[in-house]
C-alpha cells in the first residue's frame, strides 16, 4: 500500500490508537485538574486556504490483484473531528482505510471540518476527480444534498436516522440506528440500579438524542417500571468540564447508573464517577480502560460494515442510491454493524444472557424500537 499525506493525515499504524488514548487522557486529565468549571479551552483547526487540495487530507492508493472495474472510483470522506479521537471520527477513518484495502480504490479524508467549510471541501474533492463522497456526521447533510443536485454523476453517502423523502438518485443513506442500542442499555440499567434512578447524559438536545431517551424509557417500562429516568444535556459533545459537572449533579441527586451519549466529554464523566459506585455505559467504542471499576459496556458501532455494503452495491451492481440501516445484532456476526459489547463488566454475569435474549428478540422482530422524537 502506498500513501501520500497532505497536512494532518495519519498513517495506518495509528489505527490501534494507543498513542491517541494516552494523549487524550493526559490532556483531559490536566485540563480537569486545573479547572473547576466553566467553558473549556478550545482548539480549532483552521481550514486550509489552498484551492488545489482539501484540508487535512490523506490519500491512500491500494493495489490488488483484482481486475479493474469498468468505472474507476475514488472515495473521499469528511469528518467533524479528529480521526485520532478513539471515538466517532476514528471509526470513520477505519472504515475508509478498510474500504481502500477491500476494493482497491483511492481513498482520501479530511478531518476537523467545520460545517461552514463542508461544501468547499467536498467541491475540492469533486474537482480532484473523487466520485464517491461520504459525509460522516448528519451536520454535513445539507451541504452534501445541495451538491448532489449539482453533480448528478457523483455519489454522496449521508447519515440520517431513517428513510429520506424524495431521495436523489445519487444519494446513499446510512441510518445510524441509535435508539435500538439505547433500548438495550436502558434494560441493563433497569436491572442494576440500586437507587431506582438512572441518568441519560447527552451532548446536544437533537432529535436522535430524544429518540435515545425514549428508547431507554421504553425499556424501563418493560423491565422495571419503578425506575426513574433523568435526562440531561451538556450542550456540547466534547466538553469534559461541563460533562463532569452535570454528571456530579446527577450523582448527587441519587442517580447510580449513567448512560452516556457524548464523545470526548466522556473523560469528564469518568472523572465524576471515579471513587464512586456509579456505573456507566458509553457509545461507539470500547472505553473500559478509562473507568475499569465503573464501566458496564458500550454500544459499539462499526461503520466499516455500512461502508462496505454500500460500496459493494455501487462498484459491483452500479447501484448509485439506496438506504442502509445499520444492522443491530450480536458481536461476531459479519453483518452486524452495531451491537452491545459483551461480556458486561461490573454487573452479575447472568445479565449477559439477558442482553443476548433481548438482542435475539430485536433481530427476530419481536421487539421493535421506534425512532420516537416526541419529547417525554
Q: Residue 71 has what pLDDT?
A: 84
Using only C-alpha atoms, the chain has a radius of gyration, in whole angstroms, of 21
Q: Residue 70 has what pLDDT?
A: 59
| 168 is a domain residue | yes
Q: Residue 63 has what pLDDT?
A: 37
Do 93 and 112 lie in a common domain? yes
Chunked mean pLDDT (size 10), the chain, 376 residues: 36 38 42 35 30 42 44 96 96 98 98 98 99 98 98 98 96 99 99 99 96 99 98 96 98 99 97 98 98 98 98 98 98 96 98 98 98 96
Do 312 and 297 lie in a common domain? no
Do 87 and 163 lie in a common domain? yes
Do 137 and 268 lie in a common domain? no
Do 133 and 97 lie in a common domain? yes
Do 309 and 187 lie in a common domain? no
Do 173 and 193 lie in a common domain? no
If one counts every other C-beta atom within 10 angstroms of the C-beta of residue 238, the result is 21
CATH classification at residue 126: 3.40.50.2300
What is the side-by-side order of every strand in the sheet holding 338-340?
228-233, 197-202, 257-261, 279-284, 295-301, 338-340
Do 272 and 313 lie in a common domain? no
Those residues whose C-beta lies under 8 Å from the C-beta of residue 254, and which sit 6 or more positions away, are 195, 197
Q: Cα(243)–Cα(266) distance, rounded to whole angstroms? A: 7
If one counts every other C-beta atom within 10 angstroms of the C-beta of residue 199, the result is 27
Do 224 and 169 lie in a common domain? no
Strand partners, 260: 201
| 331 is a domain residue | no
Do 135 and 265 lie in a common domain? no
| Boundaries of domain holding 295 | 179-301+339-364
Q: How many structural domains does the chain have? A: 2
Amino acid at each position: 500500500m502506498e500513501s501520500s499525506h497532505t497536512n494532518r493525515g495519519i498513517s495506518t499504524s495509528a489505527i490501534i490508537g494507543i498513542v491517541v488514548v494516552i494523549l487524550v487522557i493526559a490532556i483531559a486529565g490536566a485540563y480537569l485538574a486545573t479547572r473547576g468549571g466553566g467553558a473549556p479551552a478550545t482548539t480549532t483547526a483552521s481550514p486550509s486556504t489552498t484551492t488545489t487540495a482539501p484540508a487535512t487530507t490523506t490519500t491512500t492508493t491500494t493495489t490488488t490483484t483484482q481486475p479493474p472495474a469498468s468505472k474507476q472510483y475514488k472515495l473521499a470522506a469528511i469528518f467533524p473531528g479528529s480521526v485520532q479521537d478513539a471515538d466517532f471520527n476514528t471509526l470513520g477513518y477505519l472504515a475508509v482505510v478498510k474500504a481502500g484495502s477491500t476494493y482497491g480504490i483511492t481513498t482520501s479524508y479530511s478531518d476537523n471540518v467545520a460545517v461552514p467549510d463542508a461544501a468547499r471541501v467536498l467541491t475540492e474533492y469533486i474537482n480532484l476527480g473523487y466520485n464517491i463522497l461520504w459525509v460522516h456526521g448528519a451536520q454535513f447533510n445539507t451541504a452534501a444534498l445541495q451538491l448532489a443536485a449539482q453533480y448528478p454523476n457523483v455519489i454522496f453517502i449521508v447519515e440520517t436516522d431513517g428513510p429520506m423523502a424524495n431521495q436523489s438518485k445519487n444519494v446513499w443513506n446510512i441510518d445510524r440506528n441509535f435508539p435500538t442500542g439505547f433500548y438495550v442499555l436502558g434494560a441493563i440499567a433497569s436491572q442494576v440500579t440500586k437507587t431506582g434512578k438512572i441518568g441519560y447524559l447527552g451532548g446536544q438536545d437533537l432529535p436522535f438524542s430524544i429518540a435515545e431517551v425514549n428508547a431507554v424509557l421504553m425499556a424501563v417500562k418493560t423491565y422495571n417500571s419503578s425506575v426513574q429516568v433523568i435526562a440531561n444535556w451538556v450542550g456540547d459533545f466534547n466538553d469534559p468540564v461541563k460533562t463532569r459537572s452535570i454528571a456530579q449533579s446527577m450523582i448527587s441527586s441519587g442517580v447510580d447508573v449513567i448512560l452516556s451519549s457524548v464523545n470526548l466529554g466522556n473523560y469528564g464523566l469518568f472523572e465524576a464517577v471515579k471513587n464512586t459506585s456509579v456505573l456507566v455505559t458509553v457509545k461507539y467504542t470500547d472505553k473500559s480502560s478509562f473507568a475499569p471499576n465503573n464501566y458496564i459496556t458500550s454500544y459499539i458501532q462499526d461503520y466499516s460494515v455500512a461502508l462496505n455494503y454500500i460500496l459493494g452495491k455501487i462498484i459491483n451492481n452500479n447501484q448509485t442510491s439506496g438506504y442502509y440501516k445499520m444492522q443491530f445484532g450480536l458481536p461476531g456476526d459479519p453483518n452486524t454493524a452495531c451491537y452491545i459489547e459483551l461480556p458486561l463488566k461490573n454487573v452479575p454475569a447472568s445479565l449477559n444472557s439477558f442482553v443476548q435474549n433481548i438482542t435475539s428478540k430485536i433481530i427476530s422482530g419481536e421487539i421493535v424500537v421506534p425512532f420516537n422524537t416526541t419529547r417525554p
